[in-house]
Chains A and B, each alone.
Chain A
């Protein structure tokens, strides 16, 4: 197992470097002069300040050198300073990562708790009204853009029913209850896509497993349907579900951009979007790097879980 994980880790390291190259390429492609962005609109005509800023940001050096310098510093833990807010990038990320992680984690938990059981029930009664209802509800989750679902939920829960706060993140330090209440709606909105994919995958793979011969044997042996599913089918059916969840992590983090904007959460997603619009290159590079790392780590964990559940994989 350890050897398998080590092999996967070794595979990922070049991927991380490729990620840094892609990030750098994108920031180079973004139109707009970061030195001007830093100086602010009021000081555009100050040539001296502009030249100083360019030097300070290292923009006067050739691009490969800039890249090498950035990677070198990043490895030492120095991700530079934000052009927009002048705070240290690493510090800003450390402050905002927990918010996004909690959001993603709650969304994931909701998906697991709701989607998998629903998928299982659907597969147990295929083509029944329950099944149709579940499928339609699952797909509805991805049928509207998140910003729209978000505002609908806010109107429902915060204005009409007045049970949840409409926006704003309450940190854990202020109390678990308040924290969970503030995170519930955003997590639901964020997790809708994941919910849909998970539920349908659970249903599809359980259906497939139930066609296998050994299931027929189990049934012939006289086991009840419930026992058949629980004892024999479930474990194997969950393997593709795990894979699919792992594949959706990137999309989950992507969704935080919109959700954090709507619900006014100070998280990584919004930071990424703000950094793009303000050409805050140091911050953008830092944010995307951390998010990509998070996705890769999740993939690694999924692989580990997958290998644990299906021993055949370890020896592949």
Chain B
């Protein structure tokens, strides 16, 4: 099946006809309120202003300029330097629904369930002048799959072969059908397919490239002061044209500053020395929204789940499903929302899944707060006087505050909790070594809305992001099947079952969902988001 492609990807009707189940789910991304100011419509010619340097603050340091080898590919800055094969685009501002569109891949088709054929964009050059073609694309894909330090290889383990044909065609074949392939390639938290210049890598070597990146993005690398800032400048040969007929970007350059302390980054914002603050701390969201100098953007399909608790099913007391259920029923979400949510947090009942995800079903038991039932369950499990447990947490904010709240919360229903606050790496070590009774962390269930298959690594036995390491062969089997099936209805049923199992066997518990908010000054126009990463290629600075 072949069909026409538009400049930025196929028309939705055709897209859906083609890949059916591989489409991004149609259910609206609920829960996230909408405030996408100037994000959607392109500006009329004549209104854009060229020039200026954008200054943004990020809250994590760049570990390397090679986005394949780092899990921090979600930081803005990489998106400026590198184009990727596919990306997300806002389809409907009212519902927050996104779809996958092409960037360096203009269109694609699936001749059979296991195979994807990409038509690549022609005439694209990297910053070092070398051309982008199918060979380079192939090299990039294989690197992401095969490089020992690649952060994406787990998502691409199923890729059997990658073939380059006639210079601008890329054929990717999987071992078995893979429903979530496209969203995985577009999702920053999965295997975002950033495209690097092979010529540059060959010339500089890996270590050199990690400090002198070369991509094909709207901005060229200028300087990276480790732990301080990334400075990029305009790429005059960018292959996308702006509203005024000349090449994007409108900006002269951008500076991404790492400010370690979130309180200080907020002060920087207030003092006017930043244009954009990537993540506003939850407690300050209300204050920023009330300030007319700033506009905000609630990131869709992404929230932070405060308090995802995992139980060690191998040791008492949580080897007993009754005790686990009791603990989950002891989570006072309303109280949590009031104490920690600062007006924007909402109760979240289903671990790993978020409203809008395939399989999300609110008719499934919510395991809501019920102190009486907690007592009954504990009694049934053989703990009539309550049970003492240890809860391990990483020693940083807001985890510590959440932990203190949970400790009070559980203790008051009979689960006497001792909070053990550990340094990040010590926590990771302890948890991996299964040296814990219960532990919790913050996470985002947004992947489930993009495609539930993205959550696989967090749910299966031995999954690398399955921190509490619960192991349920039935869930594994279902997740495997869900990843291979292309029929949406069947998949919905499968994932619904997974969720039901998680709820019934109480492997995990969740607290509240807090939306992630970006703040930016009102004069920043044309800001777009590649799902949850700021995309500044079409930004111009108004007055």
B426 touches A85 (CB 8 A): no
Q: Does B11 contact A (CB under 8 A)?
A: no
14 pairs from A and B in contact (CB 8 Å cutoff): A32-B426, A32-B429, A37-B425, A39-B149, A46-B148, A85-B226, A86-B64, A159-B271, A165-B271, A167-B259, A264-B257, A264-B259, A266-B226, A266-B227
Scoring B residues 441 to 470 as 1 if CB is less than 8 Å from chain A, else 0, what string do you get?
000000000000000000000101100000
Using Cβ atoms and an 8 Å threshold, which residues of chain A touch B487?
none
Complex CA gap A185/B286 in Å reads 29
Who on chain B is nearest to A169 by CB? B228
Q: Determine if A49 and B149 form an interchain contact, defined as CB atoms under 8 angstroms apart.
A: yes
* Interface status of B411 (Cβ within 8 A of chain A): no
**Does B225 lie within 8 Å of A41, measured CB to CB?**
no
Taking the nearest CB of chain B, how far is it from the CB of A191, in angstroms?
20
Question: A237: shortest Cβ distance to chain B, in Å?
Answer: 40
Q: How far is the CA of A133 from the CA of B424 in the complex (A)?
A: 45
Cα A154 to Cα B271 in complex, Å, equals: 9
- Which B residue's beta carbon lies closest to that of A274? B227
1/0 contact string of B411-441 vs chain A (CB within 8 Å): 0000000000001111011001000000000
Give residues 116-150 of B contacting A (CB, 8 Å).
148-149
Contact A270 B71, beta carbon cutoff 8 Å: no
CB of A155 within 8 A of CB of B267, answer: yes
Complex: chain A residue closest to B430, CB-CB? A31
Judging by beta carbons under 8 Å apart, are B268 and A166 in contact?
yes
A42 x B462 contact (CB < 8 A): no
Residue interface bits A264-287, CB-to-B below 8 A is 1, else 0: 111000110010011100000000
- Within 8 Å CB of A264, what residues of B? 228, 257-261, 264
A271 close to B227 (CB less than 8 A)? yes
- Write out the residue numbers on chain A whose beta carbons fall within 8 Å of the beta carbon of B227: 85, 266, 270-271, 274
- In the complex, A242→B264 CA distance in Å? 35
- In the assembled complex, the CB of B427 is this many whole angstroms from the nearest CB of chain A, namely 10
Contacts of B148 in A (CB 8 A): 43, 46, 48-49, 52
Choice from B149, B210, B229, B424 contacting A277 with Cβ under 8 Å: B424
Residue from the list B71, B210, B273 in contact with A42, Cβ < 8 A: B71
Is B319 part of the contact surface with A, judged by Cβ < 8 Å?
no
Task: Confirm or deny: A87 has a beta carbon within 8 angstroms of a beta carbon on chain B.
Answer: yes
Q: Which of A45-82 contact B (CB under 8 A)?
A: 45-46, 48-49, 52
Distance between Cα atoms of A221 and B63 in the complex (Å): 70
Q: Please, how many angstroms separate the alpha-carbon atoms of A281 and B272 in the complex?
A: 38
Contact of A167 among B149, B211, B268, B462 (CB under 8 A): B268
For this complex, into which size category does the number of interface residues on chain B fall? Answer: 35 or more
Q: Which chain B positions have C-beta within 8 A of A162?
A: 271-272
CB distance from A208 to the nearest CB of B (A): 43
Q: In the bound complex, do residue A44 and residue B464 qualify as a contact, i.e. CB atoms below 8 Å apart?
A: yes
Question: Chain A contacts of B207 at CB under 8 A?
Answer: 86
Give A173 Cβ to nearest chain B Cβ, in Å.
11
* A266 and B228 contacting across the interface, CB-CB below 8 Å: yes
**In the complex, chain B residues whose CB is within 8 Å of the CB of A167:** 259, 264-265, 267-268, 273
Distance A243 CA – B96 CA, assembled complex (angstroms): 66
Encode contact with A along B230-262: 1 for CB under 8 Å, 0 otherwise.
000000000000000000000000000111110
Q: How far is the CA of A168 from the CA of B70 in the complex (A)?
A: 25
A33 at the interface (CB under 8 A from B): yes
Q: Mark A134-178, 1 if CB is under 8 A from B, else 0.
A: 000000000000000001001100110010011111000000000
Bitwise, A182-198 to B at CB < 8 A (1) or not (0) is 00000000000000000
Q: How far is the CB of A212 from chain B (nearest CB, A)?
A: 50
Determine how close the nearest CB of chain A comes to the CB of B26; give it in whole angstroms. Answer: 31
**Chain A residues near B154 (CB, 8 Å)?**
42
B263 located at the interface, meaning its Cβ lies under 8 Å from any Cβ of chain A in the complex: yes
> C-beta contact mask, B80-120 vs A, less than 8 Å → 1, else 0?
00000000000000000000000000000000000000000
Is the CB–CB distance between B261 and A261 below 8 Å? yes
Tell me how far the C-beta of B194 lies from the nearest C-beta in chain A, rounded to whole angstroms: 16
Pair B260/A151 contact, Cβ less than 8 Å: no
Q: Which of A95, A154, A165 contacts B225 (CB 8 A)?
A: A95
Q: Does A262 contact B (CB under 8 A)?
A: yes
Q: What mask results when residues 86 to 130 of chain A are scored 1 for a CB within 8 Å of chain B, else 0?
A: 110000100100000000000000000000000000000000000
A40 to B70, CA, bound (A): 8
Decide yes or no whether B270 CB sits under 8 A from chain A.
Answer: yes
In whole angstroms, how far apart are the Cα atoms of A43 and B426 in the complex? 17
Say yes or no: is B151 at the interface (Cβ < 8 Å to chain A). yes
For A169, the chain B residues whose CB sits under 8 A away are: 228
Instruction: Name the A residues within 8 Å of B265 (CB-CB).
Output: 167
* Chain B residues closer than 8 Å to A87, beta-carbon distance: 211, 226
Docked pose: A153 CA to B163 CA in angstroms:
59
Asked if residues B432 and A154 are in contact (CB atoms below 8 Å), the reply is: no
* A262–B261 CA distance with the chains assembled, in angstroms: 6
**CB-CB contacts of A4-19 with B at 8 A, as 1s and 0s?**
0000000000000000
CB distance from A32 to the nearest CB of B (A): 4
- C-alpha gap A151/B264 in the complex (Å): 7
| A165, chain B: closest CB distance, angstroms | 6
A314 CB–B CB distance under 8 Å: no
- A41 partner residues in chain B, CB cutoff 8 A: 71, 428, 464-465
Given known pairs A40-B151, A42-B151, the reply for A31 and B429 (CB within 8 Å) is yes
Determine the chain B residues whose CB is within 8 A of the CB of A278 once the complex forms: 425
Pairwise interchain contact B267-A158, C-beta atoms closer than 8 A:
yes
* Interface membership of A253, Cβ < 8 A: no
**Is residue A84 contacting chain B, with contact meaning CB distance below 8 A?**
yes
Q: Which of A85, A154, A261 has the most CB atoms of chain B within a 10 A radius of its CB?
A: A85
Task: Give which listed residue, B149, B211, B258, B270, contacts A40 with CB less than 8 A.
Answer: B149
> CB of A306 within 8 A of chain B?
no
Any B CB within 8 A of the CB of A263 = yes
A31-B426, A266-B226 known; A44 vs B432 contact (CB < 8 Å)? yes
B478 → chain A, closest Cβ, in Å? 21
Q: CA–CA, A266 to B63, complex, Å? A: 14
